[in-house]
């Protein structure tokens, strides 16, 4: 008969009676899962779907908008009306398990025979380990690799990877040099249904700190840094995440982010003579998704770069520079302008990124390259023919 959950981490046992294998009961599983998510992590803010199955089709009308239709007795809702709604909900695939392997050495067991809180401490330690890694996977996971030797980041696709691959999420780019300017561009690109401060913006800890310094520099007498920092931008809450990369931003309603986990939790316990330790193995089945992809904006930083930021050209001659990368619509969306056409004129080939600068009269001027999120200048000197 399965041991009670409080005995799973029992310390005062002998090698002959520690062996335990099987699955936790649904009640035990919920207790274990609750211990994982009830901590200060991103998992505490999102929708947690605990299910008895390894796959599940979710419906999420609670965060949708415009889901009502006219009711006419005896008449079905028109197909066009249903298509307009799009997909509200997601498919969770928790068929690929991940395991936590731990051990407690004999010396530790002996030292804690009189520790009444030892079981609770071990339980909390396991829960923290799971929380840390499931939180990390939720942000940094890159693939659903079913191989037994799959590297950590391929144990599951996290929200960042899902957002970057989806055809329905909004994926703007910005070349702005300041975090403040990037956040402004991000907000402009949010879906209308999550504007007005509804969305939360997740960003790297590095970018969050940079934003604090920018605000402090702009408003030196505000006491922003002393008073705990600026935790919002234009009414949108900012959530720094240590697992995000600098230059990437994710904005959506937190409850639109789904963490699915099956309550089919396997656990094994045995005594390992070779290492003189009590071994544990827990297997859980998680998955990450968004209920409504169009409510997600994932923005990345893309530098606006040019092969050179200065040129010298003779009157009636032409010099070229090439835009190598740009944000917004990329190289094809760049515009260029001469700031003094009496000195030099400019044309731009959007298919190749080539900037052609032709000298008109001796002098100096600049050519401004604009990708819609930032600008760069090319210094131009025109010499005699």
116 and 264 both lie in a single domain: yes
- Residue 112 resides in a domain: yes
- Beta strand ranges found along 98-204 (DSSP E): 98-105, 173-174, 200-204
Which string of DSSP letters, residue by residue, matches 248-276?
Answer: EEEEE-GGGEEEEEES--EEEEEEETTTT
114 and 190 both lie in a single domain: no
What is residue 371's three-state secondary structure? coil
Burial class (CB in 10 A: 0-12, 13-18, 19+), 129: middle
Q: Do residues 134 and 43 touch, judged by C-beta distance below 8 A?
A: yes
Tokens of 183: 């956040």
In sequence order, the 6+-apart residues with CB closer than 8 A to the CB of 24 are 5, 8, 32, 263, 265, 266, 267
* Structural domain boundaries enclosing 21: 5-65+85-148+258-288
318 and 274 both lie in a single domain: no
pLDDT at res. 121: 82
327 and 215 both lie in a single domain: no
141 and 104 both lie in a single domain: yes
pLDDT digits (tens, 9 = 90+) for 357-374: 999 999 999 999 999 999
Assign residue 185 the CATH number of its domain: 3.30.2320
- Residue 300 resides in a domain: no
- Residue 346 resides in a domain: yes
Tally of CA atoms within 13 A in the half-sphere of 186 that contains its CB: 30
- Domain count of the fold of the chain: 3
How many whole angstroms separate alpha carbon 385 and alpha carbon 382? 9
127 and 267 both lie in a single domain: yes
Q: Tell me which of 254, 269, 296 is where a domain ends.
A: 254
Q: If we measure between CA atoms, which residue out of 146, 188, 138, 183 comes closest to residue 163?
A: 138
* Proportion of the chain above pLDDT 90, given as a percent: 60
pLDDT at res. 67: 60
144 and 175 both lie in a single domain: no
224 and 204 both lie in a single domain: yes
20 and 57 both lie in a single domain: yes
177 and 205 both lie in a single domain: yes
- Residue 200 resides in a domain: yes
Assign residue 379 the CATH number of its domain: 2.60.40.1080
244 and 349 both lie in a single domain: no
Structure confidence at residue 216 as a pLDDT band (50, 70, 90): confident
- Residue 311 resides in a domain: yes
For 204-208, what is the mean pLDDT? 97
In sequence order, the 6+-apart residues with CB closer than 8 A to the CB of 88 are 59, 60, 61, 64, 67, 291, 292
- Bigger pLDDT: 139 or 7? 139
246 and 262 both lie in a single domain: no
Angle between helices 179-188 and 205-218 (to 10 degrees): 110
Residue 339 has pLDDT above 60, yes or no: yes
- Residue 366 resides in a domain: yes
- Residue 25 resides in a domain: yes
246-279 per-residue burial string, b: 16 or more CB within 10 A, e: under 16: ebbbbbbbbebbbbbbbbbbebebebeeeeebbe
pLDDT at res. 253: 96
Q: Which pTM does this prediction carry?
A: 0.84
pLDDT at res. 128: 86
- Bigger pLDDT: 382 or 130? 382
107: number of Cβ within 10 Å = 10
- Residue 14 resides in a domain: yes
């Amino acid at each position: 008969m399965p041991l009670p959950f409080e005995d799973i981490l029992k310390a005062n046992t002998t090698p002959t009676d520690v062996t335990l294998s099987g699955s936790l009961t649904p009640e035990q599983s919920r207790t274990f899962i609750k211990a994982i998510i009830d901590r200060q992590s991103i998992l505490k803010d999102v929708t947690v779907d605990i299910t008895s199955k390894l796959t599940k089709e979710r419906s999420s009308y609670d965060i949708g908008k415009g889901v009502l239709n006219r009711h006419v007795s005896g008449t079905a809702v028109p197909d066009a009306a249903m298509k307009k709604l799009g997909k509200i909900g997601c498919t969770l695939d928790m068929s690929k398990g991940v395991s936590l392997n731990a051990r407690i050495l004999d010396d530790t067991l002996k030292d804690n025979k009189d520790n009444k809180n030892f079981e609770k401490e071990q339980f909390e330690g396991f829960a923290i380990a799971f929380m840390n890694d499931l939180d990390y996977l939720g942000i940094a996971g890159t693939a659903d690799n079913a191989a037994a030797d799959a590297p950590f980041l391929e144990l599951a696709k996290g929200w960042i990877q899902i957002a970057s691959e989806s055809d329905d999420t909004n994926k703007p780019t910005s070349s702005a040099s300041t975090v403040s300017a990037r956040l402004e561009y991000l907000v402009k690109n949010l879906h209308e249904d999550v504007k007005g401060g509804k969305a939360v913006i997740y960003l790297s800890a590095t970018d969050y700190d940079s934003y604090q310094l920018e605000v402090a520099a702009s408003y030196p007498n505000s006491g922003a840094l002393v008073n705990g920092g600026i935790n919002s931008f234009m009414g949108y809450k900012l959530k720094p995440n240590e697992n995000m990369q600098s230059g990437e931003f994710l904005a959506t309603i937190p409850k639109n982010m789904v963490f699915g986990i099956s309550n089919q939790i396997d656990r094994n316990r045995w005594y390992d003579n070779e290492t003189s330790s009590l071994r544990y193995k827990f297997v859980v089945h998680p998955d990450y998704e968004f209920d409504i992809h169009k409510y997600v904006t994932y923005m990345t930083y893309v530098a606006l770069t040019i092969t050179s930021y200065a040129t010298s050209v003779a009157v009636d001659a032409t010099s070229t520079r090439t835009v190598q990368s740009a944000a917004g619509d990329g190289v094809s969306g760049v515009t260029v302008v001469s700031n003094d056409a009496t000195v030099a004129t400019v044309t731009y080939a959007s298919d190749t990124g080539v900037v052609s600068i032709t000298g008109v009269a001796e002098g100096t001027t600049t050519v401004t390259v604009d990708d819609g999120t930032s600008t760069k200048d090319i210094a131009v000197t025109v010499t005699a023919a």
